[in-house]
Amino acid sequence: MKIIISPAKSLDFENNAPTTIHTQPFFLNKSLKINESLKILSAKELSQLMKISDNLGYLNYERNKKWNIPFSLKNAKQAIYSFTGDVYKGLDVNTLSEGKIPVLQEKLRILSGLYGILKPLDLIQPYRLEMGTKLKVGKFDNLYKFWADELANHLNNEMKEDELLVNLASLEYFKAVPKKALKMPIITPVFKELKGDTYKVVAIYAKKARGLMIRYIIDNNVETIEELKGFNTNGYGFSETLSTNDELVFVR
């Protein structure tokens, strides 16, 4: 089983990771090409491109200028300890037992506009670049065209044809891994809240639930769809009636 998730906008590069074990991003040379396109943009141009504030535009202008390879523990940090958004709060990697970190490294993949696809212990430097950003890189008009089928092909090479891919990424990021290019079965867990007399996806809860699902998979060595259905953290339960062959719906 492999799990794919989105990165987070919020980062922590102030605190050291609890381990020095690290790996290098597979697509680092492609990341370099993207960074070259980012470095020529001013802070104002970044703000306009990413639709962010002037302060964030300047912050990322400075990040882009400082970004450089090779990566080491002196200038970079492991991805899983760097992202701090709601999904990562749900996962709560800092309380994961040391013996489970290799399992996490084997199963989890983080999609990224800059890095393509990351293993948890891959080193990264601070950045902000959402997959949906219309950044022109060489002859490519946006990041979807730049990455094309690269990420799907990478997963195909990593996985057996009958191995299960659990999609916990947002729609924006999953679009970078087109279903038609993938060889393995894909399951997308969906998390809904009871609002009145109907169940609805509430983004802030759904994001944290994705992290909780990752933690459930790692803690319980989950490998099958039937085992996935057993997810019952924080009051969620599997709904047979709301689920389909491709989507497992969990409600509370």
Query: pLDDT tens digit string along 149-158?
Result: 999 999 999 9
Give me the pLDDT at residue 161, please. 83
Give all strands (DSSP E) within the chain, no chain letters.
Answer: 2-5, 77-78, 108-112, 116-118, 123-124, 165-167, 186-195, 198-200, 237-239, 247-251
Q: Is the pLDDT of residue 212 over 90?
A: yes
Query: pLDDT tens digit string along 50-92?
Result: 999 999 999 999 999 999 999 999 999 999 999 999 999 999 9
How far, in Å, CA of 81 to CA of 64, rounded?
A: 20
How far, in Å, CA of 173 to CA of 109, rounded?
A: 12
Neighbours of 12 (CB within 10 A): 15
How far, in Å, CA of 138 to CA of 151, rounded?
A: 19
Q: What percent of the chain has pLDDT over 70?
A: 100
Q: In this structure, what token pair is assigned to residue 119?
A: 């293993």
Give me the pLDDT at residue 78, please. 98
Which region, left, alpha or beta, applies to residue 149 given φ > 0 means left and ψ of -120 to 50 means alpha?
A: alpha
Q: Is the pLDDT of residue 27 over 90?
A: yes
The mean pLDDT of 183-212, rounded to a whole number, is: 97
Give me the pLDDT at residue 214, please. 98
Query: pLDDT tens digit string along 106-134?
Result: 999 999 999 999 999 999 999 999 999 99
